Amino acid sequence: MYRMTRDTSSTPVRATGSRSPFVRLRELIDRFPAGREPAISLAVGEPQHPIPPFVGPIIAAHVNEFGRYPANKGLDEFGVAVAQWLGRRYRLERPVDPASEVLVLNGTREGLFLAALAAKNWIEKNWGEPRAGRPAILIPNPFYAAYAAGAIGADCEPVYLPTTRATGFLPDLDALDDALLKRTVAFYIASPANPQGAVASRDYLHRLTALARRHGFMIFADECYCEIYSEHAPSGMLEAAGKDFKNVAVFHSLSKRSSLPGLRLGFAAGDKSFMQAYLELRNVAAPMVPTPLQRVAIAAYGDEKHVEENRRLYREKFDLADQIVGDRYGYKRPAGGFFLWLDVSAQGGSEAAALKLWREAGLRVVPGQYLAREQNDGSNPGANYIRVAMVQNNAITAEALHRLVAVLG
């Protein structure tokens, strides 16, 4: 159990399963026609910006490679490109070793899921003491669904850490007691956070790293939104991990960075010992990544112009939110990511607001409670919020925000 501090909702909760928030959204609103046409979806975090121009020519040039099985670890050139990009993007104490500290992923969703299974086995084999009680995996609440699926798949207890305005929308590290940490095998952390856009400071990351090494668990840092920010580039977990990257694995994707969600390509990097165990699992359980797609990724990680343009487009849309939403619904421009996390408690809560926006404005947004789990005290950290994905173009975004304000008041 947690040591209680400011928030009684810090009580952990056990999950028996989970359902997609998007399936639940369809069940909520698809019984009704859209209140305005054309309907606008601001639900799925699927970037709508143009894909980089080099994608098609690279795939065409290497199309014959689809005729061969790729290695699960990835191309050597891919590992080098990732290691070099990490070295440019972050202030690391030493370069990442592409041969032993980088793995290609078929998108980070499957990577984050399988990491939980690998962590449980790795901890049992490599840590001096067995976990004290049922193994636990700590998850920010709200969260990306793959985290909980991984915990459940690994037969660990998912313990949900409420991330509220009072905690800066990040897990409260001071609320974690030794009894819980001694049975923890992994801790998922997203920075920038999905959905709130909070960014962990370097001090926060150093504190988390110290806890992981003291108690012997893995940190899985989901950094997929790291290249979408308003002012300052977010710090990364590897920057807090010292020279050996011990107990740390970071996960990155081209879905957001390069507007390539359909490419299904990302990577994991970090602790050499864990990465070897992770590769052993992936060799028998994970989908391999076609080499033509890896060659696209090599080009993408070597080019910053399309990333800067991508970031500019998101910045313009948040400028629109600043103007149209203003200070309504507790809105503040997030430090990172591309979501609005709007407080609709005055409008009846997340489900009521989402349904109203569909039936009256033709807007599809996600109720925050679908992205979170109830704590043992019955509270749900997302119950009073809606998540709005700023993925459409400027004109559609402006229209959507005007409709939202007109309906919610």
Q: What is the pLDDT of residue 8?
A: 33
Alpha-carbon span 325 to 91, nearest angstrom: 36
pLDDT digit string, tens, across residues 175-193: 999 999 999 999 999 999 9
CA–CA dist 300, 297 (Å, integer):
5
Quote the pLDDT of residue 132: 73
Helical pair 76-89 and 291-301, crossing angle rounded to 10 deg? 20
pLDDT tens digits, 36-88: 999 999 999 999 999 999 999 999 999 999 999 999 999 999 999 999 999 99
pLDDT at 312: 97
Q: Give the residues of the chain that fall short of pLDDT 50.
A: 1-17
pTM, two decimal places: 0.94
CA distances from 388 to 2, 90, 331, 370 (A): 31, 29, 11, 13
- The residues spanned by each domain of the chain are 19-45+306-408, 55-303
| CATH tag, 55-303 | 3.40.640.10
Degrees, nearest 5: CA angle 208-338-74? 65
Q: What is the DSSP letter of 376?
A: T
Dihedral, 261, 267, 268, 269 alpha carbons, nearest 10: -140
Q: Of 202, 159, 151, give the one whose Cα is nearest residue 177.
A: 159
C-alpha torsion sign, points 118, 120, 121, 124: positive
| DSSP result, 118-163 | HHHHHHHHHSSS--SSS-EEEEEES--HHHHHHHHHTT-EEEEEE-
Helix axes 145-153, 108-126, angle to 10 degrees: 40
Structure confidence at residue 18 (pLDDT): 67
Quote the pLDDT of residue 129.
65
- Tell me what pLDDT residue 10 has: 39
Name the architecture of domain 19-45+306-408. Alpha-Beta Complex (3.90)
- With vertex at residue 233, the alpha carbon angle to CA 47 and CA 267, rounded to the nearest 5 degrees, is 60
Q: Which residue has the tokens 């909070």?
A: 198
Return the pLDDT at 131. 72
pLDDT reported for residue 13: 41
